[in-house]
Amino acid sequence: MSVIPLEQWPDRLSAAVIRAAAGGGPFRRAVVLREVDSTQDAALRLNAAPGDVIAAWEQTRGRGRLGRAWSSGARGAAPAQASDGDAPPGVAVTFVLAPERSERLALLAGIAAAEAVEAHLGRPVGVKWPNDVIVDGRKIAGVLVEQDRVLARVGIGINVRQRDWPADLRAIAISLSQAGACVDRLVVMETLISALWRCWMATNDVLKEAFRRRDLLTGARAVLRHDGREYEGLIIGIDPMTGLTIETAKGRQVLPAATTSVVQVQADGFTRA
Ligand code: BTN
């Protein structure tokens, strides 16, 4: 499959943004960058405004949640396909939105990423709370929400054309192409823009139901961290807008979604948070 060149990105992404805006979506402008450290930081440097969609052909220092790095899989990984030249394999895009409740932004972005992946894969995917998109037990997309009083920066990374991974990621990461969907990154971004527009317009109840259908954490044993303390037990319910209920040896606890993180999951397929 040949790669759609960077020159086509500005027009195609602008058209996707205009379609979304015409349908009531929150986007106004697409900004395409050839190489950035992180699209999250580029949004700040560019003084981005709500409605901007910042897409990078190549991201060299992507960030993940909880201070982790987000690797596009390029470093140390085999080239995607000989005919593809050396185009990077992942989607890295930051949607700049007006600030709102962080639980809702995390939820809507995770569902949008899941829907975009499903559209190309043709089968349902799982979501590991809060918003890791999981295919065949491995992570295919992740979401980073950062916001202040003025701007929300919703960063989404999707693995698209990776054929291999550095050793430390091999057991836990997967791409669309590894899962059987050979698709161009630009096409995935177009799908993501419409998915995010739909999810942004959806009510919390619709989003919670979309999460419930894909929820992989409920029913698993896990270690959660909240307020400096760790809680180990069985996750018995998740309301992504409010909290997680965990049955521990000392009893049942409800931990707030906004300030709780997953330390470890003991379930088939993925064991690292
Ligand atoms: C995670 O799963 O921990 C979140 C990963 C988020 C990665 C995306 S890629 C676009 C945006 N820019 C970044 O530096 N991070 C996010």
Q: Which amino acid is residue 227, in one-letter code?
A: D
Q: How far is the CA of 105 from the centre of ligand 1 (A)?
A: 14
The rounded radius of gyration (Å) of the Cα atoms in the chain is: 18
Q: Which residue has a Cα nearest atom 3 of ligand 1? A: 64
Q: How far is the CA of 91 from the centre of ligand 1 (A)?
A: 10
pLDDT tens readout for residues 78-104:
555 545 667 889 999 999 999 999 999
Confidence at residue 92, expressed as pLDDT on a 0 to 100 scale: 97
SS3 content of the chain, % helix, strand, coil (to 5): 30, 35, 40
Residue 216 near residue 261 (C-beta atoms within 8 A): no
Q: Which residue has a Cα nearest atom 7 of ligand 1? A: 157
pTM score, two decimals?
0.94
Confidence at residue 171, expressed as pLDDT on a 0 to 100 scale: 93
Confidence at residue 76, expressed as pLDDT on a 0 to 100 scale: 41
Confidence at residue 155, expressed as pLDDT on a 0 to 100 scale: 98
Question: Ligand 1: which of 127, 156, 169 to mutate, judged by most atoms within 8 Å of the beta carbon?
Answer: 156
pLDDT tens digits, the chain, 273 residues: what are they? 789 999 999 999 999 999 999 999 999 999 999 999 999 999 999 999 999 999 999 999 999 999 999 987 654 445 555 456 678 899 999 999 999 999 999 999 999 999 999 999 999 999 999 999 999 999 999 999 999 999 999 999 999 999 999 998 999 999 999 999 999 999 999 999 999 999 999 999 999 999 999 999 999 999 999 999 999 999 999 999 999 999 999 999 999 999 999 999 986 555 444
Q: How far is the CA of 248 from the centre of ligand 1 (A)?
A: 31
Q: How far is the CA of 273 from the centre of ligand 1 (A)?
A: 15
Q: What is the length of the chain? A: 273
Atom of ligand 1 nearest to the CA of 90: 9
Question: Which helix H or strand E contains 131, and what residues bound it?
Answer: none
Confidence at residue 258, expressed as pLDDT on a 0 to 100 scale: 95
Pocket of ligand 1 from Cβ distances under 6 Å: 38-40, 62-65, 68, 70, 92-94, 132, 142-144, 155-157
Q: For 133-199, give the DSSP string.
A: EEETTEEEEEEEEEE-SS-EEEEEEEE-S-S---TTTTTTB--TTTTT----HHHHHHHHHHHHHHH
